[in-house]
Chains A and B, each alone.
Chain A
Amino acid sequence: MHELAVTQSMLNLALEYAERASAQRITRINLVVGEIAGIVDESVQFYFDFISQGTPAEGALLSFRKLPARFRCTACGQEFPLRDGDWTCPACQRLGGEVISGREFYMESIEVE
């Protein structure tokens, strides 16, 4: 799992924005994670608790907003979620399509004081 490197990038980004806002402390980090981004929340949290020690982000709450993976049907253009095992287009019954979301991994905002 690559969550250590990923968590470090995430922490750096949060600290950068906190400093720019002249904040003393980060209380919460709001993250958006796509269903197929390959990011495991629990291990991000685990590494975060460890590497944020002694930084203004120590003790911050990590919030993970999950984005479901979605297809766009190549036959009819309908968008629909990638449900486990059932990938038929609800409009035209064709199977699957192009993945249009679900790979996201970004920081929406931080809460500071």
Chain B
Amino acid sequence: MQEARGKTVTVIKDILGANEQIALENRGLFNEKGVFVLNVMAAPGAGKTSLIQRTIEPLRDRLRIAVIEGDVASTIDADRIAGLGIPAVQINTGGACHLDASMVRSALSGLSLEDIDLLLVENVGNLICPTGFALGEHLKVMVSSTPEGDDKPYKYPGMFSAVDVLLLNKVDLLPLLDFDMDTFRRGVEALNPNVAFFPVSCKTGEGIEAWVEWLLARRDQGFQP
């Protein structure tokens, strides 16, 4: 009789568990320092940087704001924000397709958390990868834009179902597009019935006030652990 040589070792471990752990530590730090953190996710060009700029404008006199820029390899976006006089840190993702919790943790060394009330993190332009990687944020924010089409929720259920708030940007372009709002809304409601939804235009400013008011209210509700 030959002895079986192989054996099975049970593991049952989340492969991204290390990221989850660091994200939890980040969240603890944010709560301790009273920093409310948004993870802004979208396809490239949907309007993440534009939304961040639009969100800063009405809030900058009321809250101390800082930005972490994860998008692209250049510092163009970080420069756009720094041009507003807002502290901005560029994360060099080295070509990665998403931010992870450890990248954010490293970026925090470039910011003074005691002096920040609201931290806006612009994730890498990508609709798939960022959803798997928590950063320690309080809110997952998704920007979808009308030129991307009304079928986006049907194509990217992973992200649409994971976010706390969805902004549909570039509504100023609706008259020019074959975008059926009902089709879009139906997909969103099916995937994420509790999501907060705001149609906006970062170009005209339409809808921004409603979004900013909601954001302030959510922040006032306090920090969930």
Residues of A participating in the B interface, judged by any CB pair closer than 8 Å: 1-2, 5-6, 9-10, 13-14, 17-18, 20-21, 23, 27, 31, 36-39, 69, 74, 82, 85, 87, 95-99, 102-103, 105-113
Contact = CB atoms under 8 A, between A and B. Distances in A.
A106 to B, nearest CB: 5
Contacts of B193: 74, 96-98
B6 interface: yes
Most buried by A among B7, B16, B97, B100: B16
Interface string B117-147: 0000000000011011100000000000000
Interface string B157-170: 11001100000000
Given A9-B15, A13-B15, A103-B158, A87 B190 contact: yes
B2 interface: no
Interface of B: 5-16, 18, 96-98, 100, 128-129, 131-133, 154, 157-158, 161-162, 186, 189-194
B21 to A, nearest CB: 12
B12 A9 contact: no
Given A96-B191, A99-B157, A111 B7 contact: yes
A74 B189 CA distance: 11
A106 B9 contact: no
A73 to B, nearest CB: 10
Given A36-B157, A103-B132, A106-B14, A111 B8 contact: yes
Contacts of B8: 109-112
Given A36-B161, A74-B193, A95-B189, A106 B7 contact: no
A96 B9 contact: no
Nearest to B6: A113
6 contacts: A5-B100, A6-B16, A37-B158, A85-B154, A106-B14, A106-B15
A13 B133 CA distance: 18
B12 A2 contact: no
Given A1-B129, A2-B98, A13 B11 contact: yes
Contacts of B192: 98-99
A23 B133 CA distance: 31
B186 A17 contact: no
A109 B9 contact: yes
Given A27-B6, A99-B191, A105 B14 contact: yes
A111 B6 contact: yes
Contacts of A36: 157-158, 161
A113 B129 contact: no
Nearest to B97: A2
Given A95-B189, A107-B12, 17 more contacts: A2-B98, A2-B133, A6-B16, A9-B18, A21-B9, A36-B158, A38-B158, A69-B157, A98-B161, A98-B192, A103-B162, A105-B132, A106-B14, A106-B15, A107-B15, A109-B9, A111-B7
Contacts of B15: 6, 9-10, 13, 31, 105-107
B14 A112 contact: no
A112 B157 contact: no
A38 B13 contact: no
